Amino acid sequence: MALPQEFLMELKYRNDIESVLSPFIALKRRGSNLVGLCPFHNEKTPSFTVYPESGSYYCYGCGQGGDIITFTMKMENLDYIDAVRRLADKAGLRMPEDGKDDKEARLKKDIYECNSEAGRFFHQVLMSPQGKSGLDYFLGRGLSISTIKRFGLGFAPDDWHALENHLRSKGFSDYVISMADLTGKSEKKDKNGRNFTYDRFRNRIMFPIINIHGKVIGFSGRAMPGNEKQGGKYINTSDTPVYKKSHNMFALNFAKSDCSKQAILVEGNMDVIALHQAGFTTAVAALGTSFTEEQARLLARYTKEVVLTMDADSAGEKATDRAISILESVGVDIKVLRLPDCKDPDEFIKKHGNNKFQHLIDNAMTALEYKLVVAARGIDLTATDGKLKYLNKACEVLAALKDPIAVELYTGKLSAKYGVSKEQLQSIIKNAENKNYRFQTKRELQEITAPKLEKNPVNPQREQFKRAAAAEEAVISIMAKHPDMLEYIKSKIDVSDFLTDFNKKVFQRVCEILETGHSFDLVLLGDGFTPEQVAYITKLLTVNADVENAKQVLEDSISVILEEKNAAENPDVSSLDDAAWAEAMAKLSKEKKKNGPK
């Protein structure tokens, strides 16, 4: 959607970048700029820089960059228009009218309302005679009526069209119901050739999925006991215009207000609900089968520590290992709670009560302690060779630590427990550290050389046209910072002289902005660029921020662009391989026939 430039600039002025970023990042002033720890990757030394003058940010560690709109899109998991709308609401600005925007906004609004009505329908069915089996299930699991109401739990009747007919009676179109993923399409067709539709959720207990803003965005439906093989144990809403499971978490809408110090991450919806009912209101769960990096970042916005409480089976152990790795990457503290003699938190609380569960939380292992326990999996610690194998694995765990005090402490513990001298263990750790160092050095070298070997994901043609692309970027950067040079640049080159499509697009957009009389600003790029592309453009402008002798650099860059274009159109055939030579000759022959004799 092409929003008016005046509106976008007003949006920027009413939302200064420091006020937008501060709730998520602790920023410190460094000269005229601000710095902080990047929220998009784990780091100990601040590499995230905010430039208040231009209203932009750039992380020199991971390459994320942009403006207030890009940041809001990334942190709030919103698309472009919703991010603009969020900032506009915050600033008290009214969104401009636009046909496309109205259509997209209406669709999302209709889906939210459709989901909300579906949630009411499922809950009403649960509390009616028709939903007795579902209610009996929840009550049998120990849930109170007040808990059932608080979480909006429901029941989908064993009917192919009950929800569909209800939503139609409330005025929702078949299109909206389908876009909300509440109905599916049969292979059978009616007399008009249209596929028959049916309710996706049937004879299932229903869990509404609510986002952090309190809106119903989807559902998870569990099959009734004994019917798990009919369509699977769980059916979940697929991605829709308002829902992406990897970007949301179950019950975070409730937990976010209480979990600033600690959140409890469990596997299933029922575990979450049982914990909330027992007073552990910081419990949340991932949506779908596995915990994602996006969910970790979302959780890290609200808490400093996560207690992992996965099921006590092999799948739960794998889920714990994965969650630790992901949570370490976003910089939150991690504890691991292991459940004795029970499969999940719900079962443990029923069997032992709230106080003992709180005791488990208070005495949960650190991630390091858990890794040392995991290192003993499958090893007979009563045997001499088993102890040796374990100690080598434990030393590998300690060698990966960056905290020398922790290494010293746990080396002492292992020494005392297994009767091995600290010096021997330190020697093993040192060898493992050297091995890790060599591996890390090799990986860093690979990362350094990777851009030379792999395509740039934003501008994949950059590798093919390195010299031209660098010159194109210099022209774009200089033009954005020196709008008075626009006419001169346009008199020398135009967009058709660019060899890389991405730089063509950026050049054309910068020209359009400057031709309206505005200075260039990232906020004016509009929704034609992804956050990754905006980050790349931010890098161009940031890295080339202080170009000396801009006019000379500009002229040299224009010359390179024209030379490279000419070389691409008229290759030196003597330097080509046989296939490329034949292709060039065919092209020249075709041009001669087309243009005729001169």
Looking at the structure, tell me whether residues 476 and 562 fall in a common domain. yes
Looking at the structure, tell me whether residues 286 and 187 fall in a common domain. no
The strand pairing partners of 57, in sequence order, are: 50, 66
Looking at the structure, tell me whether residues 113 and 238 fall in a common domain. yes
Average pLDDT over residues 431-453: 62
Average pLDDT, the chain: 87
The strand pairing partners of 209, in sequence order, are: 218
323-354 per-position pLDDT tens digit: 998 998 888 899 999 888 888 899 999 999 99
Looking at the structure, tell me whether residues 152 and 270 fall in a common domain. no
The model's confidence at residue 440, banded by pLDDT at 50, 70 and 90, is low
Give the whole-angstrom CA distance, residue 413 versus residue 425: 11
Looking at the structure, tell me whether residues 220 and 280 fall in a common domain. no
Would 310 be classed as within a structural domain? yes
Looking at the structure, tell me whether residues 562 and 431 fall in a common domain. no
Cite the beta strand spans of 75-190 per DSSP E: 154-156, 183-189
* Lowest-pLDDT choice from 28-42, 58-72, 211-225, 565-579: 565-579
CB atoms within 10 A of CB 452: 8
The model's confidence at residue 536, banded by pLDDT at 50, 70 and 90, is very high
Looking at the structure, tell me whether residues 237 and 150 fall in a common domain. yes
CATH number at residue 221: 3.90.980.10
Average pLDDT over residues 551-576: 81
CATH number at residue 581: 1.10.860.10
Would 555 be classed as within a structural domain? yes
Residue 454 has pLDDT above 50, yes or no: no
Looking at the structure, tell me whether residues 399 and 476 fall in a common domain. no
Please tell me the predicted confidence (pLDDT) of residue 598: 40
CATH number at residue 49: 3.90.580.10
Would 595 be classed as within a structural domain? no
Contact call for residues 405 and 439 (beta carbons, < 8 A): no
Listed as own residue / partner, the contacts of 316-320 with beta carbons closer than 8 Å and 24 or more positions apart are 316/267, 317/374, 319/267, 319/290, 319/291, 320/370
DSSP string for 205-220: EEEEEE-TTS-EEEEE
Would 24 be classed as within a structural domain? yes
Would 180 be classed as within a structural domain? yes
Q: What is the pTM of this model?
A: 0.69
Three-state DSSP class for residue 392: helix
Burial call 553-577: b when 16+ CB within 10 Å, e when fewer: bbeebbebbeebbeeeeebeeeeee
* Last residue of one domain, picked from the residues 374, 405, 434: 374
Contact call for residues 371 and 400 (beta carbons, < 8 A): no
Would 461 be classed as within a structural domain? no
* Last residue of one domain, picked from the residues 178, 210, 243: 243
Please tell me the predicted confidence (pLDDT) of residue 471: 92
Residue 101 has pLDDT above 80, yes or no: no
Looking at the structure, tell me whether residues 233 and 296 fall in a common domain. no
Residue 453 has pLDDT above 90, yes or no: no
Looking at the structure, tell me whether residues 195 and 131 fall in a common domain. yes
Looking at the structure, tell me whether residues 228 and 264 fall in a common domain. no
Residue 449 has pLDDT above 80, yes or no: no
Q: What percent of the chain has pLDDT over 90?
A: 51
Would 473 be classed as within a structural domain? yes
Which of the pair, 563 or 441, is modelled with greater confidence?
A: 563
Range of the domain at 126: 103-243
Please tell me the predicted confidence (pLDDT) of residue 452: 43
Contact call for residues 9 and 518 (beta carbons, < 8 A): yes
Looking at the structure, tell me whether residues 264 and 305 fall in a common domain. yes
Please tell me the predicted confidence (pLDDT) of residue 586: 58
Residue 240 phi, psi dihedral angles, 5° rounding:
-130, 175
* Last residue of one domain, picked from the residues 243, 262, 286: 243
DSSP string for 347-388: HHHHHH-HHHHHHHHHTPEEHHHHHHHHTTTT--TTSHHHHH
Tally of domains in the chain: 5
The model's confidence at residue 212, banded by pLDDT at 50, 70 and 90, is confident
Would 379 be classed as within a structural domain? no
How many helices (DSSP H) and strands (DSSP E) are in the chain?
A: 25, 17
149-190 per-position pLDDT tens digit: 999 999 999 999 999 999 999 999 999 999 999 999 887 776
